[in-house]
Amino acid sequence: MPKVIVSGRGGSGKSTLVTLLARLLGEKGEDALVVDVDESNLGLGKMLGIAPPAKTLMDYLGGKPAVREKLLASLRQGKGEGVQLFEGELTLGTLPRECVNWNGHLGFLRVGKIEHSMEGCACPMGAISRAFLKQLDVGERQWVLVDTEAGIEHFGRGVFEGADVVVVVVDPSHDAVLLAEKAKVLTEEAGKKCLVVLNKVDETTEPLLRQELRQRGIDVAGVVNFSIGVAQSNLLGKPLQADSLKGCIEQLLEKL
């Protein structure tokens, strides 16, 4: 089954879409591992209703200095950033226990977080994400849903190399439209499938957003309407309540 990268501008609703997809897959009896590769997002676990694991992958690999040293050694040897960080087979069943929490069919794993001021760039986290997704083997009735940081840096870092499809979330904003246009080009340039999904739209904004995207040659693969229930859950830091959106998510899932 597929490994899905969810991309988009900050505030477009990437984490919300990841959570809704994971919930629906879990209800269908399929395993969904949610991978948080956003070094600054702190609320994804609350949305899922799953506590953060004891360790991030960064912690498991010895921390940022250890990962950075491996990357520098690889660069000195002319191998680029494509360094082998994980030993042995990587499957949903062999993930380090301290790095993943499961609640039924839903799993939650975090790559790493910015914990201190002046600790340096997030390049090691990008390298971990790239290596992890490329090496992770996904079986039947298993999904990997990747919640990315805002923007398109993960494209430059090659995080999407191990993915099967990229979903670009577009909320009613011009910035989101421009980013979708760029993300589509980058995704297709890499030979990956790209799906554009509208989020937080209503009867007024949906046709306008469709028109803006159509003018740029972008088709819409799915639509998630604005939900006051989702907005309230996000504000209060509670697991998402979005039964009214199940039909929208079902339709999108069929295209993945």
Q: What is the pLDDT of residue 65?
A: 84
For the residues 206-231, what does the mean pLDDT come to?
96
Q: What is the pLDDT of residues 10-57, one digit of tens each?
A: 999 999 999 999 999 999 999 999 999 988 888 999 999 999 999 999
Of 110, 146, 142, which is closest to residue 7 (Cα–Cα)? 146
Cβ proximity of 181 and 70 under 8 Å: no
Show the beta-strand stretches assigned E in the chain: 3-8, 31-36, 90-91, 100-103, 106-110, 136-137, 142-147, 165-170, 193-201, 222-225
Q: Show the domain range for 65.
A: 3-253
**What are the tens digits of pLDDT across the range 153-188?**
777 777 888 899 999 999 999 999 999 999 999 999
How many domains is the chain partitioned into structurally?
A: 1
Q: Domain of 233: which CATH number?
A: 3.40.50.300
76 pLDDT more than 80: no
Cα–Cα distance for residue pair 150/148, rounded to 1 Å: 7
* C-alpha–C-alpha distance, residues 169 and 18, integer Å: 10
What angle do the packed helices 123-135 and 64-76 form, to 10 degrees?
80
Beta bridge partners of 112: none
Read off the amino acid at residue 235.
L
